[in-house]
Chains A and B, each alone.
Chain A
Amino acid sequence: MNKTIRLFVVAVLLVALLVGLESASIAWLGANARINAMAASVPAAYAHSSYFSPEFLQEQGHALDAMADLDWDGFTYKDFRGQWINFDAGLRRTTDTPDNAPHTLWLAGASTLVGFEVPDNLTIASYLQRAVRQRYRVVNVSQSGATVMSNLRRLKTMRILPGDVVVLYGGANELQAFEADPMDAEIGGLLCQGLKAKLPRLAMGRAYCKLYQGHMGVSPVRRESAVLNFAHALAAASEYVRQQGATAYFFLQPMAYSATPTSGERLLLDNPFVNDPTSAYVARHYWTDAQLALRVAREYDTTLTCVDLTHSLDAMRLYGESVYVDFDHMTESGNAAVAAAIVHSIGE
């Protein structure tokens, strides 16, 4: 066998190996998918949720797929109809809205406000609507993956009027601006970050990142710039809202590592298919940076009211109530408590 043929055989074997590995990764990711982990036994946060069922999980999966390709800047209008989960023109449906209300309460955040984890009537927006009754019509313009800056872009496409209230809510996605630092990260963490950034569809890469448990590495410089960017975005949003004659509030969302997780919560928090390891790592170690950003934002714009809800659910969790599905997504008891905290803070 000459050299060319040997090279050809090696190349074919290598391709076959990679194809096999990719197929195995796809199968492994599918077998361990979030929906399977959730369906295996009723998660503690859903212990009292009568709607929780395989059918609900299936609908949740369909809704996530359907809304996954929404484009923030272009604002793609899209409907989704389900028994529990509905979107009207790209916006998660809020129930109990009044026919006529003097003002609008705009609710702008990310997936925790979209609330795929619960039916329409149990989102934070719907709890808020029931609390403010006829005084405001709550419009939830939230979008999975949103940051304050992308929320601001979306708010600029809305008709905000004098007397309206704009509630910005989040924090977790701002911290995703942190990136691996070659000087700090272990090589495995860098590889995971690189694969996520450059080859997000590669199943082998996704499987590797699920298995990787080491240090991701975060640069102090990137951390500082993320804090300043977050604070600038908050100040810009506040200024825009004020120009419309409305009032802005920012609420830093609660998260699971604010206290010892309940034993029920821990089952899902330890599952990398339910609780994204990278996001959870950043939240667990760098949440105080988001808190710093709130203080800095207040220096940029003293009219902005920032409320830190990081520990707002600690008490109920210490009493044994499981609230979290992953490090920041909650079921209805958490949503109700957050809505109550927002209502209290805006003085309604």
Chain B
Amino acid sequence: MTDNDILMLLEHCKTRLVQNLLAAGFELDLATYDQVMAVAEKTAQELADEMQMPDSADVFLTQLKKIVDRATATLRAESDAIVAKPKKEWLQ
């Protein structure tokens, strides 16, 4: 997996996390953004570690979707935790 591929996973995780947060009415500001991105980075790295190169692109999509679904669940839990915490606590 190339750096470019990992970067794309990271962007995916960022988007998923932000989508969850915005849907929950959470307001991202400069202070919270970095923290949120750190969560996305950690999840993306975990995904990259799990990923194996498949034989074909169609198989790849199936594999990718499984991994992304799992990541979605992780990010959902993370975003729920972020929304539930008071902002000061989240930043600590």
Which residues of A does B touch, CB under 8 Å?
A: 224, 227-228, 231, 257-260, 284-285, 287-288, 291-292, 294-296, 298-300, 305-308, 310-311, 314, 318-319
Contact = CB atoms under 8 A, between A and B. Distances in A.
Contact of B19 (A228, A287, A294, A305): A287
Contact of A314 (B4, B9, B33, B54): B33
A284 B16 CA distance: 10
A257 B33 contact: no
Which of A259, A306, A318 is packed against the most chain B CB atoms within 10 Å?
A: A259
A311 B18 CA distance: 10
A11 to B, nearest CB: 47
Given A258-B18, A259-B28, A259-B33, A306 B8 contact: yes
A308 B29 contact: no
Contacts of B54: 299
Interface in B1-33: 4-5, 7-9, 11-12, 14-16, 18-19, 22, 26-30, 33
Do most interface residues of chain A lie in helix, strand or loop, or is the interface mixed? helix
B39 interface: no
Given A257-B22, A287-B19, A288-B15, A228 B33 contact: no
A311 B11 contact: yes
A314 B36 CA distance: 12
Shortest 10 CB-CB contacts between residues of A and residues of B: A299-B57, A308-B11, A260-B28, A291-B12, A299-B60, A300-B57, A318-B30, A296-B61, A260-B27, A288-B15
Contacts of B8: 291, 294-295, 298, 306, 308
Contacts of A298: 4-5, 8
21 contacts: A227-B61, A228-B58, A228-B61, A259-B18, A260-B28, A284-B19, A288-B68, A292-B64, A295-B8, A295-B9, A295-B60, A296-B60, A296-B64, A298-B8, A299-B57, A299-B60, A300-B57, A306-B4, A307-B4, A308-B8, A308-B11
A224 B61 contact: yes
Interface of B: 4-5, 7-9, 11-12, 14-16, 18-19, 22, 26-30, 33, 54, 56-58, 60-61, 64-65, 68
Given A305-B4, A310-B11, A288 B60 contact: no
Contact of B7 (A296, A308, A314, A318): A308
Contacts of A314: 33
Do most interface residues of chain B lie in helix, strand or loop, or is the interface mixed? helix
B15 A310 contact: yes
Contacts of B9: 295
Contacts of B68: 288, 292
A294 B57 CA distance: 11
A81 B14 CA distance: 42
Nearest to B61: A296
A174 B90 CA distance: 37
Given A288-B16, A288-B19, A292-B64, A318 B28 contact: yes
B41 to A, nearest CB: 12
Contact of A296 (B15, B26, B27, B57): B57
A109 to B, nearest CB: 19
A284 B12 CA distance: 13
